[in-house]
A and B are shown apart, each in its own frame.
Chain A
C-alpha cells in the first residue's frame, strides 16, 4: 500500500522505469494501479542505441511484475517523510 500511495503522488512527473530485462523507459507517469502496473506517456528509451526500435512511443503500459526499479525525480522524494512513513508501516504492519 505504501508503494501504491507513493506512486500516486508521482502522477504527472517524469520517472524512469527500469524493467527486469534491463530496458529502461523514461516518461511522464500517467497512472498506476493496484498491481503497480504503470502507464507512461511521451516515453523514450534511455539506451536508444540498444533498443532503436522503441525510439519513442506516445503511451506505454508496463506490467507491474516486470518492473525492477522506478527512478524518481529528485524533487519527488521527501526523504524525511518517506523515512517516517516506512517506519510507521513497519510498526503498523
Chain B
C-alpha cells in the first residue's frame, strides 16, 4: 500500500532536507515562502518547498523540524487552480494516493491529530506559493518529475517524451515484427501525410500488444461499477 503523505523530519543543520543521494535523488526546485494545505485544513504558515527527482518535501519555517513529504509515485493528479471560487488562493492542487477507506474529511475531523494514520489519509494537498506567477513553472516541474517516477510495474507504450501533436517528424513508431506485412494499415496510425512518413515502411508499423496489460483487468473488475455509475 502506498504510504501517501508522510511526516518528514530528516533535516540537516542548514535547514535543508537530507536526500537519498545514494539512490540518485537530486534537488530540482526550491520555493521559499510556500505553504501547504492538507485536505480541508487551513494552509500551514509559510515554509519551504523542495522538489526532488523522487518526492516533494515541505518544511515549516515557523515550527522547526516540522515537515511533510510525498513521493511522486503517490501524486496521482496535479493542476494549477486559479479559480478563486474553488479555492481562495491560486495554488497547485494535488491528489495523493491515500489509504484505503479514506475519509475525505480526515484532516477536518481531528485537525490536531498529526499522527501517521491521519496523514496517510490525506488525499488532497494544495501548494500555495508566495509568488503565484510561479505556479505554471512548478506545474511543469511536477510533470517532469512524475515522468521520472513511473510505477514499478508500468509498461512503456512508446518512446520517451510527450506527444502533443507538434512534432510530427518522429512519432516513435515501433518497428518490431518484420514478418508482419499488411497493406491495410490503419489510417489513424499514420500521423504523417502520405509520402512524408519519414522514410518508414508503413508495412512495419506494427505494435506490440500486451495481453497481460493490467488495464484490461481493471476494466473487468470495475465494469459493473462503471455501468452503475452511468
Contact = CB atoms under 8 A, between A and B. Distances in A.
Interface of A: 1-6, 8-9, 11-12, 18-23, 30-37, 39, 43, 52-66, 68-69, 78, 81-82, 84-86, 88-93
Interface stretch (B43-51, B53-61, B83-91): B83-91
A89 B139 contact: no
A4 to B, nearest CB: 3
Interface string B135-165: 0000100110011001100101111111111
Contacts of B201: none
B69 interface: no
A82 B207 CA distance: 13
Given A57-B81, A61-B139, A93-B211, A20 B218 contact: yes
Interface string B150-190: 11001011111111110000010010110010101011110
Nearest to B177: A92
Contacts of B151: 35, 65
A35 B76 CA distance: 13
Name the interface size band of chain B. Answer: 35 or more
Contacts of B156: 34-35
- Where chain B touches its partner, the secondary structure class is loop
Contacts of B19: none
Contact of B188 (A30, A61, A78): A78
A2 to B, nearest CB: 5
B78 interface: yes
Contacts of A37: 143, 146-147
A86 B171 contact: no
A61 B142 contact: yes
Which interface residue of B86, B151, B219 has the most chain A CB atoms within 10 A? B86
Given A5-B158, A32-B162, A33-B161, A59 B79 contact: yes
